[in-house]
Amino acid sequence: MSVIGRRLKEARQRAGLSQERLGLEAGLEAESASARMNRYETGARSPTLELMERIGAVLKVPASYFYEADDLTADLLLTFHRLPKSAKVRALEALKKGS
């Protein structure tokens, strides 16, 4: 399974959505939503960045999360994404000071 496929499946399951429901909410046609999402999760097909951005919006995760190979960095992306803007600014300043 590809990194994109693995992260997509994990995020979808965390959100409690079926492949079909996620595909529909991301704007895929009803006739192919489930099959297309399955192909993306298994790595048989690669979604476009535009589609991954729509999927990310549905799942409330940044599109970059799906592409990040390193698990620690991916977790950091998710955590940072969920912070309110003021906390993001403080976290980024703290990280810059610590380096």
List of domains in the chain: 3-98 (1.10.260.40)
| Gyration radius of the chain over CA positions | 15
Q: What angle do CA 55, 25, 6 make, to 5 degrees?
A: 35
Average pLDDT taken over every residue of the chain? 95
Per DSSP, helices labelled H in the chain are 3-15, 19-25, 33-42, 49-59, 63-67, 71-82, 85-98
Cα 22 from Cα 40, distance rounded (Å): 12
Average pLDDT value for residue range 54-83:
96
What angle (nearest 5°) sits at the alpha carbon of residue 68, between those of residues 28 and 32? 15
Q: Side chain identity at 45, as an amino acid letter? A: R
pLDDT tens for 11-56 read: 999 999 999 999 999 999 999 999 999 999 999 999 999 999 999 9
